[in-house]
A and B are shown apart, each in its own frame.
Chain A
Amino acid sequence: MTTIDLAAAPARRRLGMEHVRRAFGWLGPVLALAALIGLWELAVVVFDVKEYVLPPPSAVASEIVAQFSTLMADTWVTLTEILLGLALTVVVAIPLAVAIVYSSFLRNVFYPLLVASQAIPRVAIAPLMVLWFGFGILPKVLIAFSIAFFPLVVATVVGLQSVDRDTMYLIRSMRATSLQSFLKVRLPTALPNIFGGLKVAVALAVIGAIVGEFVGSESGLGYLVLQGQGTLNTPLIFASVTLMAVLGIILFYIVEIVERITIHWYFAARAAAQEGGSHEG
């Protein structure tokens, strides 16, 4: 073995560890979760807890299996509400943020009102939505939208305003039109913030849809929770909550994957900066 090999060895070992960590990074959390579920099961048996108070995980699992088709149908209803709420959020929030950045009137008059409106607890106006729009899907979509859209507006406004002065000078020195500087500079610059806002919006849209179902509905996972409460079917409540969590996690990771693909340059640049900057050649 030459000296060069010896010198390279630590670096290679570090690279190997990195590889292992990346491949089995999910293993830690999964094992921890399995341990917690085991502990829960054990505690219920040891302390002889009644099933309608706290069902063991095994009872929740068998409830999911037994009620699978009902649960899937209601999951589908809730998922539809969330997705429509999110779609409405994106379609309204991003153009609104653009308008706020470009119009000093909207920025000075409308934006402060929008910020102040966040003091209204949206959960409290959920019954009003039901009163106005009935028991169908629409009030849930609107509640999900009303909770989720504000963080996305703020994130997009901040992102669009984060272009540095020199870059703005540069694009103007090329005699760019407003549309060109928006599409080629402002919007791409804002993308990391927009994705950040979108991830918050996903989590909030899930909450909004469930709140909507609590207030008045005939189907959905929130409706199943209320049914479970009314019939003391606690395993059903746990089964519904589990599916809500699964929904939320899946939606979050879908956004994260799209983010990783769309703004790969952002993560790569950040990682490069953390590695200790560039080297002159």
Chain B
Amino acid sequence: MSMAESSAPATVQDRPDPPAHLALRDVTKTYKSRRGTVDAVAGASFQIARGEFVSVVGPSGCGKSTLLTMVAGLVQASSGDIEIDGEPVDGAHPRLGVVFQRDALLEWRTVLRNVMLQSEVRGLNGDKHRARAAELLRLAGLEGFDDRYPYELSGGMRQRVSICRALLHEPELLLMDEPFGALDALTRERMSADLLEIHQSSGVSVLFITHSIPEAVLLSDRVVVMTSRPGRIAEIIDIDLPRPRTPALESAPEFAGHVAHVRELFVREGVLTR
């Protein structure tokens, strides 16, 4: 799905060093439970520059999804700063698109009306966004499915609809919480290729949560490696593979090198065995 978008140009700043698109500094999240407190995220710091694709990879329960909900302004951080364009996050940022693992489509809405939910709720121009929704669906290979209901679609198609919905209002920052986690391997690969194209053509910044090391390496400019209990960042790895990328890259030796590096980190942390 090649969703061409007019890339939003960054505002010209007088400062020599413009603020990062997204910045996290010492972000923690502590949950209180009956048996004391649980550290879901402990001191996470990293930045995403405009147009950058950053993945957070880690085992289940390492707090990577919590990190995403805090960036989305849905869950309050216990301490630390989260800033979008230099402004502290307070509730959902207007130029944000979110994709969840389970597509969160509304079963009572047709495909088109599911995508349109975004503009409807935000009170954006209906006609303009209806045309854009139809175009996004066409690019996603869902032409002719506008009036279908979600139950008529396969898992991959449903997730495509949910991605179209996240892109409808031309977000500048896309947050994706294990979006391909529930899909089979082949669908997953196709969706990865399509996501690479969306990122390439639209210039959107992406924060991508996954537990798949190859997926993180293939898609990202940088990979944030997290380990569990408490969820903290083990290392941030630059992926200097050239763009545009395709899934064919996975057979390249440099690719294997990055994957091995991340694996080694998880082995050292006791997440994986040698």
Contacts and interface: CB of A to CB of B under 8 A. Distances in A.
B72 A173 contact: yes
B243 interface: no
A37 to B, nearest CB: 42
Given A169-B100, A175-B122, A180-B121, A273 B108 contact: no
B234 interface: no
Contacts of B158: 278
A132 interface: no
Interface residues of A, number: 27
Contacts of B151: 265, 268-269, 272-273
Contacts of A263: 108
B153 interface: yes
B109 to A, nearest CB: 8
B106 A185 contact: yes
A171 B118 CA distance: 8
B150 A269 contact: yes
Interface string B5-25: 000000000000000000000
Contacts of A265: 107-108, 149, 151
Contact of B157 (A164, A174, A281): A281
Contacts of B104: 164, 166-167, 169-170
B193 interface: no
A272 B108 CA distance: 14
A184 B91 contact: no
A175 B89 CA distance: 13
Interface string A260-281: 0001011011001100001111
B130 interface: no
Contacts of A57: none
A187 B80 CA distance: 36
B24 to A, nearest CB: 18
Interface in B149-167: 149-158
A184 B107 CA distance: 11
B1 to A, nearest CB: 14
A172 interface: yes
Instruction: Report whether over half of chain A's contact residues are helix, strand or loop; otherwise say mixed.
Output: helix
Contacts of B107: 265-266, 269
B141 to A, nearest CB: 9
Find the residue from A166, A174, A184, A185 having the highest chain B CB count within 10 A: A174
A279 B156 CA distance: 9
Find the residue from A164, A173, A281 having the highest chain B CB count within 10 A: A173
Interface string A178-196: 0010001100100100000
A269 B149 contact: yes
Contacts of B98: 169-170, 173
Interface in A49-71: none
A174 B108 contact: no
Given A170-B104, A188-B106, A281-B154, A175 B121 contact: yes
Contacts of A268: 149, 151-152
A280 to B, nearest CB: 5
A176 interface: yes
A279 B121 contact: no
A269 B107 CA distance: 8
A46 to B, nearest CB: 55
B153 A169 contact: no
A171 B149 contact: no
Contacts of B150: 269
A176 to B, nearest CB: 5
A280 B98 CA distance: 23
Contacts of A280: 154-156, 183-184, 186-187
B92 A175 contact: yes
Nearest to B162: A170
Interface string B183-207: 1101100000000000000000000
Nearest to B74: A169
Given A169-B74, A173-B72, A184 B184 contact: no
Interface in B233-260: none
A180 B120 CA distance: 10
Nearest to B101: A166
Contact of B118 (A174, A188, A191, A278): A174
Nearest to B184: A280
Given A176-B121, A266-B107, A266-B108, 12 more contacts: A169-B69, A172-B74, A180-B121, A184-B120, A265-B151, A268-B151, A269-B149, A269-B150, A269-B151, A278-B153, A279-B154, A280-B155
27 contacts: A166-B102, A169-B98, A170-B98, A170-B104, A173-B72, A173-B98, A174-B117, A174-B118, A174-B121, A175-B92, A176-B121, A184-B106, A184-B117, A184-B121, A185-B106, A188-B108, A263-B108, A268-B152, A269-B149, A269-B151, A273-B151, A278-B158, A279-B154, A280-B183, A280-B184, A280-B187, A281-B154
Interface of A: 164, 166-167, 169-176, 180, 184-185, 188, 191, 263, 265-266, 268-269, 272-273, 278-281
